[in-house]
Amino acid sequence: MKADVILCGSCVVDLPCLTVPLNQAIGADRTIAIEPITPLCGGITCNVGIALQRLGVSAGVLSCVGADQWAEVIRRKLSGEGVDSSWLHEHPTDPTTVVTVLIDKAGNRSFLVPDVRTATKSIDAAFVEQHLDAFHHTKYTIFGYFGRMPKLEPELSQLLPKIRAKGCKVVIDTAETGGDWLILQEILPYLDVFVPSRVEAASLTNRQDPRDMVRAFRDAGAPGVLGVKLGEKGALLQDADGSWIDLPAVEPPGPVIDTTGAGDCFVAGLLAGLHRGWDLERSGCLATAAGAFAVTARGGCSGISSIEALLRIVSM
């Protein structure tokens, strides 16, 4: 594999169910009318990988799927989008992760996730190190989601220096509560980009002000780009030199259909800008535009079409 960005971690099939009234109990013996379900691939590997390809940055996936029909859904989609899936390994016993996404009319969602060990949770440092030499040809690698990689996370403090020694920059993305703060403190000194959501950053740092959250990451030794995704309020970023960048939210170019993957698309937009050599403010503007486009279509990255489309709705 020779890709600009390697994505390692969550690789799932999403089953989006529109529209489900999330403010009501489903209860028993009820029939709820929804739109036809079309399986989509999701997780950070698919969402960010496909978005990057559409933004002109080559991407490759390093992850695991099961020996089942769902794995073929992922392979076909990645192949069709030009994402290199040659390192998408098949686990002999653990199944592909399949997530049912319940989405209401406003685009809010809830997730039904497997209560068993799935293939992506088998990923550990030894699995990544099999391909260590390839990171020499890659500009960025993204691991995610931190908080959902039980075997890999305790080993990241030993793995990440080896990847950075190849000249590859490291990005971590989080989910839900953001993961274990003690483990994160061990790996922050090896991260070149870390921009969790406000909910995740608050849970990790036990702070409420986004600038205080970023200061906590910096105090723990993070050397690179830091920030907090603020949803409909935009984003806060801090460059490696300590300068602050407040990014306003971008108005979505259409109705909000599904907020799934908006954070992933933000990351894709940010890296697409940084990869081109843009400064952090310009890259951040592209990131907020990507997040705005993401919510206008069903699925984690379906709303992203091209970098030209993103640039038309932001002043850069």
* Within-domain flag for 294: yes
- What is the predicted pLDDT for the residue at 316? 58
CA angle 234, 240, 243 (to 5 degrees): 60
Mean pLDDT, residues 50-55 taken together: 98
Q: What is the span of the domain harbouring residue 176? A: 5-22+36-311
Total number of domains constituting the chain: 1
Cβ pair 4, 57 in contact under 8 A: yes
Q: Per-residue pLDDT averaged across 49-73, rounded? A: 97
Q: Supply the mean pLDDT for the chain.
A: 95
CATH of the domain at 286: 3.40.1190.20
Residues in the chain, total: 316
Structure tokens at 255: 């109705």
- Tell me the C-alpha to C-alpha distance, in Å, between residue 251 and each of 189, 254, 310, 314: 35, 8, 11, 9
Q: Is residue 208 part of a domain?
A: yes
Q: Where are the beta strands (DSSP E) in 130-218?
A: 140-146, 169-174, 193-194
Sign of torsion, CA 142 201 123 156?
positive
Q: Residue 250: inside a domain, yes or no?
A: yes
Give the pLDDT confidence score for residue 108 in this predicted structure: 87
Q: What is the pTM of this model?
A: 0.93
Any domain includes 245: yes
| Nearest residue to 88 (alpha-carbon basis) of 156, 172, 7 | 7
Is 27 within the bounds of a domain? no
Q: How far apart are CA 269 and CA 265, in angstroms?
A: 6
**201 in any annotated domain:** yes
Q: Comparing C-alpha atoms, which of 58, 47, 224 is closest to residue 137?
A: 58
Question: Does residue 233 lie in a domain region?
Answer: yes
pLDDT for residue 107 is more than 90: no
Report if residue 226 sits inside a domain: yes
